[in-house]
Amino acid sequence: MAAHWDFPRNIASLRILAGLGREHGLSDAACLADTGLDAAELLVPDRMVEAAQELQVIRNLIRHLGRERPLGLEAGMRYHPTTFGIWGFALQSSPTARDAVEVGIRYVRLTSAFCNPRIVEAGSEAMLITDDHDLPEDVREFLVERDGAMILSLQRDVLPMRLPLTRLDLRQPAPPYAAHFEALFGIPARFGQPHNAIGINSALGDMRLPQGDFSAFRLMEAECQRLLESRQLRTGLAGRLRDALLRQSRQMPGMNEMAQEEGITARTLRRRLASEGTDYETLVSEVRRLLAEELLKTTDLSIEDIAERLGYSEQSCFTRAFRRWSGQSPRQYRAAHSHPAPPPAHAVALPARAVESRPTENPDAGKSRNKLRTPLTRSPS
């Protein structure tokens, strides 16, 4: 079973780590050694990388710069809500601090975090536990420190104040730079503890955030869910099944048949999909939804034809399913996402004065332009 942190992530994190390396005198080539990446790829906004590639960059930093510096803390303070796109906007638009923490944990797979976060409340104290038990030993301390400092940086961006912490516990032994923790977090760190934990008074969870907006928050949360589903569809076993379902959209195979194609039992398939955060029924539904939206937006197929292409025996079954997915009927969705075609050339009349004042030109030029003009094609959105 894959580790909880083994998921694709945006290259933005590697860009931050390479920037840290440059500030310490390393070249991009040294930072990216053995990752299969080059410096030009760091600038591609939508480039996705594997967790193993990020771990390799961290190993490169440690190998060249040593373990005597607070590299994890330095790295963590460079992350901001904007680093993580929609996920960051969801944090910023959260009505309360508690909402921000909950949505952040729920969609943590849209970030570059390696520690597994959870909230534990005990009396008047709320603790954010960051579990590091399955992290690679050689980079564990860096990752715990990086993720902890990243949490602090995100908090100060979303709620610009120094929250009084009730605890800062770490499982690791005290490093040579232990004093840096108190300087950064405002409280002495306790090393050799059972858990990695950052604690605050639980009443602070109800604080209103300065940019909180309930409507925007709900919209961003929905976008996080869609983005997470999209990423899960493209990777691992779920990605392979997605491709197979797309190829057989008219008659999607059942789970037992798909398991046979994978050479595994249905029970193993179910367990492996669960480890990737999904299940077969959800995957089929997601593929059908994506196909339905694409066909409604980019084709003139009738609703009945689309239903048939997606394997529905009745149009009414497809309509009910689509309304469950989107809150709209297929016709309403198509109307909301269609764009009016541009008017034909002959219907656009220039004002007489504009025609009279046009400079003299080749009399055949206008004809050539009209011959070359082709209808606009609607690109998938």
Residues 156-187: tens digit of each pLDDT: 999 999 999 999 999 999 999 999 999 999 99
* Per-residue pLDDT at 251: 82
Give the HSE-up count for residue 252: Cα atoms under 13 Å, Cβ half-sphere: 25
263: left (phi over 0), alpha (psi -120 to 50) or beta: left
Token pair in block for residue 346? 């002959």
Q: What is d(CA 345, CA 366) in angstroms, rounded to the nearest whole number? A: 11
Task: Find the DSSP H helices in the chain.
Answer: 12-23, 28-31, 51-65, 71-76, 86-93, 97-106, 140-158, 179-185, 214-234, 236-247, 255-262, 266-275, 280-298, 303-309, 315-326, 330-337, 352-356, 365-372
**Model confidence at 73: pLDDT above 60:** yes
Report d(CA 297, CA 277) in Å as an integer. Answer: 29
9-10/48-49 β-pairing:
antiparallel
Closest CA relative to residue 153, chosen from 163, 139, 143: 163
pLDDT of 308-353, one tens digit each? 888 888 999 999 999 988 888 999 999 988 755 444 444 333 333 3
Closest CA to 130 of 114, 116, 140, 147: 116
Token output for 105? 């944990």
Q: What is the pLDDT of residue 356?
A: 35
pLDDT of residue 336: 87
SS3 call for 319 = helix
Which has more pLDDT, 72 or 237?
A: 72
- Per-residue model confidence (pLDDT) at position 232: 66
Residue 14's pLDDT is: 97
- The CATH number for 9-214, chosen from 3.90.1520, 3.30.1480, 3.30.110, 1.10.150, is 3.90.1520
| Distance, CA of 12 to CA of 5 (rounded, Å) | 16
Give the C-alpha separation, 372 to 273, whole Å: 51
**Average pLDDT, stretch 53-82?**
97
For the CA atoms of the chain, what is the radius of gyration? 26
pLDDT tens, position by position, 286-295: 888 888 988 8
Q: Using the predicted structure, report yes or no on whether residue 372 has a pLDDT greater than 90.
A: no
Average pLDDT of the chain, as a whole number = 86
Residue 126, SS3?
A: strand
Instruction: Give yes or no for residue 15 having a pLDDT over 60.
Output: yes
SS3 129: strand
Superfamily assignment of 235-336 in CATH?
Homeodomain-like (1.10.10.60)
Backbone angles phi, psi at 151, to 5 degrees: -60, -45
Tell me the CB-side half-sphere exposure of residue 266, using CA atoms within 13 A. Answer: 7
CB 259 within 8 Å of CB 272: no
At residue 70, does pLDDT exceed 80? yes
Q: Pinpoint the residues of the chain covered by CATH 1.10.10.60.
A: 235-336
In this prediction, residue 234 carries a pLDDT of 66
CATH 3.90.1520 segments of the chain: 9-214
Q: What is the SS3 string spanning 50-108?
A: CHHHHHHHHHHHHHHHCCCCCHHHHHHCCCCHHHHCHHHHHHHHCCEHHHHHHHHHHCH
pLDDT tens-place string over residues 47-59: 888 899 999 999 9
Cβ atoms within 10 Å, residue 298: 15
The encoded tokens of residue 216 equal 């925007």
Q: Is 198 helix (H, G, I), strand (E, B) or coil?
A: strand
- State the Cα–Cα distance between residues 70 and 85, nearest whole angstrom: 27
Indicate the pLDDT class of residue 29, thresholds 50, 70 and 90: very high
Once rounded to an integer, what is the mean pLDDT over residues 64-90?
97
CA end-to-end span of the chain, whole Å? 35
The pLDDT score that the predictor gives to residue 346 is 41
Q: What is the mean pLDDT of residues 145-156?
A: 97
Q: What is the mean pLDDT of residues 132-156?
A: 97
Rounded Cα distance between 103 and 217, Å, is 10
Task: Label residue 26 left, alpha or beta by phi (over 0 means left) and psi (-120 to 50 means alpha).
Answer: beta
pLDDT in tens, 239-279: 888 878 877 877 889 999 999 988 999 999 999 888 777 88
Question: If we measure between CA atoms, which residue out of 224, 243, 245 comes closest to residue 234?
Answer: 243
Q: 207-240 burial by CB neighbour count: b if 16+ within 10 A, else e?
A: eebebbeeebbeebbebbeebbbebbbebbbbbe
